[in-house]
Chains A and B, each alone.
Chain A
């Protein structure tokens, strides 16, 4: 899966998981997870949907050091390589 394809999937997920409306069209790799408006509880919906959409079953604690959308894409690419 290309980075652009992953980004598009993430845009769809964020649209569904975000509690407050997010302008996902302007979401870029430098956008931070905090800027997307996720807090300690709403981020769980994002994690669940990411795991489902990409068919991955990673250890969630590996995600806590991720700050930006770009880092999340790096992580997903690595996980998909298996």
Chain B
């Protein structure tokens, strides 16, 4: 198991990050947005690799063929991502209730999320403000979020605001093999961001905007083994400081006995839902993520 003891390098990084976070928390929400806009423009001009990944992804998704629009969408996406990060640091998931979040939770989903005998597999993508969305869900229903641990344990501790009374964050590949199954059986809901590149033999290929993308099978496998329902969810920004949280009705899938086929079918359904949501809010998607590494 990896050691979590901070190294000298971790301490140096932490010393660099801490003042930035403190400064961000001193800013007003409007100040935070302005900072994100400035940093986003600067990042787009200087972080060539990220800019190229974002532009290439938008080209692959065929959202537009106009090069100027592609660049403009990629720039807006980068600014949006920084707004998400800064807003999350400032509001700690709307802990103080400063954000206005309109909710549209399907009644059957609401009932399933509140079921104390079986949790829901709540699936979302890197669209809008997923942090605010999951934290908002956690205010009403118990939630276990799966997230990658930061390499730097000190910075990871800084982000512990994501843990509060109703939400627990668990690492992606938890050594406690039974944690997710147990959580669902105890009526806790499991939140997963499913649009992530799966490395080596950990995933299946799923069409995303018509292009095959290596995808982790976890939401599908959790459903197939526990029979817990899946709900697709989004939380998009509608105006500065205002969000719309949407949760679809729960769905289930009857297994055929072919693991590859079953997981691919479930993930295909989820990606189709995410695609539709992205088409409505293309600048709020994290295009700078290397989603199609094999292309």
Contacts and interface: CB of A to CB of B under 8 A. Distances in A.
B178 interface: yes
A43 B178 contact: yes
A28 to B, nearest CB: 19
Interface in B253-295: 255, 257, 259
Interface in A39-59: 39-45, 47-49, 51-52, 59
Contacts of A34: 175, 177
A-side interface mostly: helix
A79 to B, nearest CB: 15
Contacts of B91: none
A33 interface: yes
Contacts of B184: 61
A40 B173 contact: yes
Contact of B221 (A19, A48, A52, A59): A48
How big is the B interface, by class?
20 to 34
A55 to B, nearest CB: 10
Interface in B209-267: 216-218, 221-222, 224-226, 255, 257, 259
Nearest to B226: A60
B87 interface: no
B176 interface: yes
A39 B185 contact: no
B218 A41 contact: yes
Contacts of A64: 178, 181-182, 185
A22 to B, nearest CB: 13
Contacts of A39: 173-175, 177
Interface of B: 170, 172-182, 184-185, 200-202, 216-218, 221-222, 224-226, 255, 257, 259
14 contacts: A40-B176, A42-B173, A44-B180, A44-B218, A44-B222, A47-B181, A48-B224, A48-B225, A48-B255, A60-B181, A61-B181, A61-B182, A61-B226, A64-B181
